[in-house]
């Protein structure tokens, strides 16, 4: 399945049905009077967050959604049926924006959440509605009101507890594959990961969701490489695991490059709790490891973890550190 996290959609709710102009005509009944029924209401356009989806690829093949028009009223005081609604089913974490792409309509953050994007038009009154003591035979009725139409943007921001960030080939996909059942593409060239991957990590019997995003390089906020658009998928995380490859000649510069891109992107990423880890340490000897760990500690201001996803060294400690921050953040949210 292809990954799609942004798409443009046209929606239109249904028009209301027209009221009927009708008069009662039966044998032996004189002056039967008006009996035109009201029109039915047009269908609404809804959006619903559902489980089991993690991409907007369905909207790649259908971009127009129109609800049904209400049925017209009929004689003998029969009201027309309402038009059928249309529901857009989206993954949890989808944001709905106006056509300008900036005005947020609704943020779908919970499974089962529903929101009406466009209301159907009301049905018109039939001529029976206008009968009065001074006008006992009205010969007019109202047309139904028109429905609403608009163009909207759907933008997906995956919901995960922890996010992996770093330069290309920092070992993010290898880390994800080692501690979850996710199977991201892993290869020895930059930008192997072209779209976010999710996995469920387990440590000490507790689970949390881990998100791996494409690597960042210097100038990503200006569109260099594949840009920084995918950083939106770690905006909702509670903690970031910043991986720095031990194969980098200057680990301090590698750390600062990614940190600068996070600050340039904004979205609160620069203020998120961060755990720094020196990855791929299986390629270093003890002396080189100590030197690079010391340089990285000086750059980030704390002692980094040292891990190797290939040998498994330090992986449990890294997962426990992530789980600790996540648990503390959840406890804080519940108490608030």
245 in a labelled binding site: no
Structure tokens at 10: 């046209």
3-state secondary structure of 287: helix
309 in a labelled binding site: yes
195 in a labelled binding site: yes
169 in a labelled binding site: yes
Closest by CA position to 12, among listed 152, 107, 115, 112:
152
310 in a labelled binding site: yes
Tell me the Cα Rg of the chain: 29
285 in a labelled binding site: no
167 in a labelled binding site: yes
194 in a labelled binding site: yes
Burial of 183 (0-12, 13-18, 19+ CB in 10 A): exposed
Listing DSSP states for 39-66 in one string gives PPPPPPEEEEEETT----GGGGT--EEE
User: Which residues, in sequence order, are bridge partners of residue 50?
Assistant: 91
133 in a labelled binding site: no
214 in a labelled binding site: yes
172 in a labelled binding site: yes
192 in a labelled binding site: yes
> Rounded to 5 degrees, what angle do the CA atoms 283, 286, 287 make?
110
Residues in the chain: 336
Annotated binding site for Mg(2+): 173, 193
Annotated binding site: 166-173, 191-195, 212-215, 308-310
Annotated binding site for GTP: 166-173, 191-195, 212-215, 308-310
């Amino acid at each position: 399945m292809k990954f799609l996290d942004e798409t443009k959609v046209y929606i239109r709710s249904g028009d209301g049905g027209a009221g009927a102009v009708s008069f009662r005509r039966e044998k032996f009944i004189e002056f039967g009077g008006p009996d035109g029924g009201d029109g039915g209401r047009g269908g609404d356009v809804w959006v619903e967050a559902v489980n089991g989806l993690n991409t907007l690829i369905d909207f790649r093949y259908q971009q127009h959604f129109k609800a049904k028009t209400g049925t017209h009223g009929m004689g003998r005081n029969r009201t027309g049926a309402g038009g059928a609604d249309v529901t857009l089913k989206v993954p949890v974490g989808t944001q709905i924006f106006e056509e300008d792409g900036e005005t947020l309509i609704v943020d779908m953050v919970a499974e089962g959440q529903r929101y009406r994007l466009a209301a159907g038009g009301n049905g018109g009154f039939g001529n029976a509605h206008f009968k009065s003591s001074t006008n006992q035979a009205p010969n007019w009725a109202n047309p139904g009101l028109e429905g609403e139409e608009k163009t909207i943007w759907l933008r997906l921001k995956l919901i995960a507890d922890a996010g992996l960030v770093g330069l290309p080939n920092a070992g993010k996909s290898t880390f994800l594959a080692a501690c979850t059942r996710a199977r991201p593409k892993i290869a020895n060239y930059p930008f192997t990961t072209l779209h976010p991957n999710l996995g469920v990590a387990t440590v000490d019997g507790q689970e949390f969701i881990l998100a791996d995003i494409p690597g960042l390089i210097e100038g990503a906020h200006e569109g260099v490489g594949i840009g920084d658009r995918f950083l939106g998928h770690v905006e909702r995380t509670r903690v970031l695991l910043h991986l720095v490859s031990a194969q980098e000649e200057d680990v301090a510069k590698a750390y600062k490059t990614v940190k600068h891109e996070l600050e340039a992107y904004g979205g609160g990423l620069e203020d998120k709790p961060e755990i720094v880890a020196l990855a791929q340490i299986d390629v270093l000897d003890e002396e080189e490891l100590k030197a690079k760990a010391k340089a990285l500690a000086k750059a980030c201001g704390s002692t980094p973890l040292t891990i190797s996803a290939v040998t498994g060294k330090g992986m449990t400690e890294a997962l426990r550190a992530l789980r600790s921050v996540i648990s503390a953040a959840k406890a804080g949210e519940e108490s608030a």
